[in-house]
Chain A
Amino acid sequence: MQKAGFSMIKHYFCSGLAMLGMVSVVALAAETPASLITQYAQKAGVPVSALSPQRGAALYRTEHSGRDGQPVSCASCHTASPQQAGRTRVGKRIEPLAPLANPQRFTDAVKVEKWFRRNCMDVLQRECSAQEKGDFIAWLSQLK
């Protein structure tokens, strides 16, 4: 009886652990550019097909007046070609943005959100919309 009780506890404990494990796997699950595109489309309330790589490219290249009045765009640091490595303002290497050149890109939703938040504020002086983010990744992930 005691043994049965123990094995039941053990059973619950183990399945609890397994569930915890699954939850953390989900939390840590690597995103892919495609899954992020889908999420941003959903957030924007549009079908994935409504996202536009052309708009994404324009977002990347369009120059805005930065904080110090100098023209600034994504390309200022990431260079004209997102397949190339860029440089931060203090000269540190930035790995390429395009997933084909750098498979680690767009695989971590928290990191992606952090950098959209910072860089949209720097370049556009505002946050980017879910649709803009979707467009942006849609463009980058089709670059060969």
Chain B
Amino acid sequence: MNYLMRGIGVLATVGAVSLLAFSLPSGEARGDGGGDALPKLTHKNWQQECASCHLAYSPALLPKASWRRVMGGLDQHFGENASLDPVTQADILRFLETHAADSGNSAIGNKVMRRQGADKAPLRITETRWFVNKHDEVPRAAWSRKAVGSAANCAACHRKAEQGVFNEHDVRIPK
């Protein structure tokens, strides 16, 4: 009887600890563990608004100062009017800042920051040294192929980009 109770106690403790270990706050879940895995994030406005025109780019790929610049100029967002109502805009910025490269809560963000001067606030992910270095084997001509359009179109080559998977095995550069 005593052993039974103790057994149940041990099982419950192990269960609780593993639950804690595998569930992270604010909708996060562990990525696939690779050094360049993007943190899996959920945020309604970020996903709905940003992803109506392009992939909802990970906040971990730019520092806070960059996100402030991006969100402060939505009426001229890379040549397009992407303006939002002030409440939604503030909500998305808060989320981006919380998970930005320099927020210190993702391995990939730390990598981006290590390669980037701390004072730099690029407007484009493609301007970060991390991105340029990651893509240095991609032939220049590939970026402007019709099926790609621009370097902003992650999903053209990263076939599982929509699911947050940027694994090299899933890369197919269109001809």
Instruction: Decide: A90 and B149 in contact? CB cutoff 8 A.
Output: yes
Instruction: Decide: B54 and A118 in contact? CB cutoff 8 A.
Output: no
Instruction: Decide: B83 and A88 in contact? CB cutoff 8 A.
Output: no
Instruction: Decide: A91 and B156 in contact? CB cutoff 8 A.
Output: yes
Q: Contacting chain A: which of B34-42, B74-82, B112-120? A: B74-82
Q: Interface extent on A, as a size class?
A: 10 to 19
Interface residues of B (CB under 8 A from A): 51, 53-55, 75, 79-85, 148-150, 152-153, 155-156
CA distance A120 to B115 in the complex (A): 40
Least Cβ–Cβ distance between A12 and chain B, in angstroms: 32
Tally the A-B contacts, defined by beta carbons under 8 Å: 41
List the A side residues contacting B80 at CB < 8 Å: 89, 118, 122
Instruction: Decide: A90 and B153 in contact? CB cutoff 8 A.
Output: yes
List the B side residues contacting A119 at CB < 8 Å: 81
Return 23 A-B CB contacts under 8 Å, by A number: A68-B79, A89-B53, A89-B79, A89-B80, A89-B150, A90-B53, A90-B54, A90-B152, A91-B150, A91-B153, A91-B155, A91-B156, A92-B51, A92-B54, A92-B55, A92-B155, A114-B84, A117-B81, A118-B80, A119-B81, A121-B75, A121-B81, A121-B83
